[in-house]
Structure 1
Amino acid sequence: KSILCRKCAGDTTEAQVVAANVDTAFLVMGLDRDFNPRRMERLLTMTFDSGALPVIVLNKADLSADGESQRQVIEQLSPGTPVLLVSARVGTGIGALRSFMRKGETVVLIGSSGAGKSTIINRLFGEELMRTREVRAKDSRGRHTTTHRQLLKHPDGGLLIDNPGIREIQLWVSEESVAGSFADIHSLAGSCRFRDCSHETEPGCAVLSAVRRGAISEARLQSYYKLLKEARYLALKQDESAQREQKRRWKIIHKAFRHNPKS
């Protein structure tokens, strides 16, 4: 079905599996100090690359003075992707969220510590299945209530995977996945004067023109540059790792041949 991966922390060029064989990913973000559109872009890119359906869950709507404006900001990141305003503490929006939990399908919750994933689960199941803790007031950061993955069966027949909070999202995706996540920029690129336009300084750049008009924010364009750079660097490191592995295997073959030349 699908596999959601991120790059392992540190210098190791290896993938860490976040979840596999899921149909839908609830991308949870709080409308407190956890709110970060650039972080959501990373979550969306990771989800699109996996093949799962993303559903953006903006939790803690009861704490936001202008949740609708925040929802519109997130909607612009990925037109067509469901964006739900939810307050797990109060219970609003849970019915809409529950509609994505279908019999025979698997949902995974992904988000930072303190985003309210455990409270959402308790609301979805109608009972206190998960322990919850208050976030720090100064930065809305949570302490890891969930410390390991758990698979839960909903009474309606769907399955839900709960993950520990993700603090860092290093991408394990291709350039094509980044382009797909930034469809607004990618579609404009076809109208640039030069086919190899980098959207930085070239004349006749449709992307830069859109930024000047305010159709695309400068912050979103910079995020696109950053994620694309990460994807290209990852591809380079993967190629280097593959070459090292190939050399290692050939050394083993040559060594075996020297010891058994007639075999």
Structure 2
Amino acid sequence: MRRMTDPIDYRALQTIGWPWPGAPELPAWQALFEAHPQARPGRVIEQHRTGYVVADAPEAGLKTESPAEWQRPRFPSHERAAVGDWVLLDGIKIVALLPRRTAIKRGAAGEHYHQQVIAANIDTVFIVCGLDADFNPRRIERYLLLVGGGGAQPVVVLTKADQTEYSQDALDVLEELAAQDIPLLAINGKDPESAGALLPWLGAGQTVVLVGSSGAGKSTLTNTLLGEQRMKTADVRGNDSKGRHTTTHRALMPLPAGACLIDTPGMRELKPTGEEALSESGFADVEALAAQCRFRDCAHQSEPGCAVRAAIDAGELDEERLLNYFKLKEEVAAAAAKLAVRQAETAQERGKGRGQQFRPAGKPRRR
């Protein structure tokens, strides 16, 4: 990071994803700049349990202190900074989080409702899946659910194409996604020429995040795109292709092609937040069929005039895909109910706080 007295170098910021002049998010950020005239902008490039590393240019990271309110146990985790976020720094202290343009989130593990931001201000999500025992169309659909509605474009990247003769068969299995204009690519993540198929999404100023299970080949692909062996990699188990966590934290890295790449640890749990729309999450075809059913409340079981069942009978829709649609729809509804309760509790807590703040001194409380 530069000294507080140095002028802000916006060209250097643009090399790590700062919006170009005229970007729609810039006016919304202006008020925070005016509220903190001594602060400098930077981007969160690493997120650890103990804090953040923020940069204002490539290879210019600085360990920072987060605001005191972020450290409270009940502070919503999704309102803290995540990798890819833009923040304002006063010295080494984060004083403001700039509003996000896009984000990919999931429901955090546990009984209580929480959201976890995987990455922020991203343009593209590479959903990485290995063409070995890791290949799982249902898991890909679950990732698409989390990406949908967040503002970023999903791209399904099937790695380890050099290890199988069935790459095209895997692409055919996912043809219903391709029909919705979701890009599908099968590549060898170790081969720069093969990985070059991803270059259309890696232009200057773009930010891409890799998501996928452990052993899918995310770190290997990251090293290939970087042109150096920076990320640790490990062989998967031969019996089930399960991988070990070689990436231990989220990190943002500038690429030679001009984009910024965020690598993430493998995620075992992919819970929805309740804000997802299945029509924007790889199930637009199922939703469109459901709209053609004779009855508005059709359950797509054995009702007459069911367009969904007709598509299955005609071989136009995979029944396992429909069952996964039902499952995810139930999960989104359950998460949405928890979200509504959490929002009501938050509003009540903030209302109490305002009441205590503005209650005239000496005035007795009502019993």
What is the 5 A alignment of 1:216-255? 216-249=317-350
**Corresponding position of 1:18:** 118
Residue type of the alignment partner of 1:198: A
1:190 matched to 2:298? The reply is: no
Contact 2:158/2:186 (CA < 8 Å) preserved in 1? yes
1:50 matched to 2:150? The reply is: yes
How many Å separate the matches in 1 of 2:190 and 2:258?
24
Contact 1:174/1:232 (CA < 8 Å) preserved in 2? no
Residue type of the alignment partner of 2:248: T
How many Å separate the matches in 2 of 1:244 and 1:235?
14
Task: List runs of 5+ in structure 2 lacking aligned partners.
Answer: 1-100
Root-mean-square deviation over aligned CA pairs: 2.1
Contact 1:25/1:52 (CA < 8 Å) preserved in 2? yes
The total of aligned residue pairs comes to: 262
Contact 1:180/1:186 (CA < 8 Å) preserved in 2? no
Name which of 131, 144, 154 aligns with 1:31.
131
Q: Which moved more, 1:184-193 or 1:74-83?
A: 74-83
Name which of 217, 220, 228 aligns with 1:119.
220
How many Å separate the matches in 2 of 1:60 and 1:150?
23
Q: Which moved more, 1:250-259 or 1:74-83?
A: 250-259
Residue type of the alignment partner of 2:162: D
Residue type of the alignment partner of 1:140: S
Q: 1:117 to 1:202 in 2, by over 3 A?
A: same
1:239 is displaced (CA, Å) by: 1.4
1:168 is displaced (CA, Å) by: 1.6
Q: Which moved more, 1:45-54 or 1:104-113?
A: 45-54
Residue type of the alignment partner of 2:109: A
Structure label with greater radius of gyration: 2
TM-score with structure 1 length normalisation? 0.92
Residue type of the alignment partner of 2:190: R
Deviations 1:181-231 (A, max 9, x none): 211111112211112222233221111111122211110111111111011
1:71 matched to 2:171? The reply is: yes
1:5 matched to 2:105? The reply is: yes
Name which of 234, 240, 243 aligns with 1:142.
243
Residue type of the alignment partner of 2:336: A
- Tell me the secondary structure at the aligned position of residue 108 of structure 1: strand
Name which of 49, 56, 59 aligns with 2:159.
59
Q: 1:201 to 1:261 in 2, by over 3 A?
A: farther
What is the 5 A alignment of 1:127-206? 127-174=228-275, 177-181=277-281, 182-206=283-307
Contact 2:273/2:339 (CA < 8 Å) preserved in 1? no
What is the 5 A alignment of 1:99-118? 99-118=200-219
Contact 2:125/2:208 (CA < 8 Å) preserved in 1? yes
Contact 1:23/1:53 (CA < 8 Å) preserved in 2? yes
Q: 1:55 to 1:250 in 2, by over 3 A?
A: closer
How many Å separate the matches in 2 of 1:260 and 1:96?
70
Q: 1:98 to 1:173 in 2, by over 3 A?
A: farther
- Tell me the secondary structure at the aligned position of residue 199 of structure 1: coil
Residue type of the alignment partner of 2:363: P
- Tell me the secondary structure at the aligned position of residue 29 of structure 1: strand
Deviations 1:115-157 (A, max 9, x none): 0111111111222121211111111111111100111111222
TM-score with structure 2 length normalisation? 0.67
Q: Which moved more, 1:20-29 or 1:238-247?
A: 238-247
Contact 1:62/1:90 (CA < 8 Å) preserved in 2? no
1:75 is displaced (CA, Å) by: 3.1
Contact 2:128/2:211 (CA < 8 Å) preserved in 1? yes
How many Å separate the matches in 2 of 1:7 and 1:178?
16
1:171 is displaced (CA, Å) by: 1.2
1:243 is displaced (CA, Å) by: 2.6
Contact 1:86/1:92 (CA < 8 Å) preserved in 2? no
- Tell me the secondary structure at the aligned position of residue 313 of structure 2: helix
**Corresponding position of 1:207:** 308
1:163 is displaced (CA, Å) by: 0.6
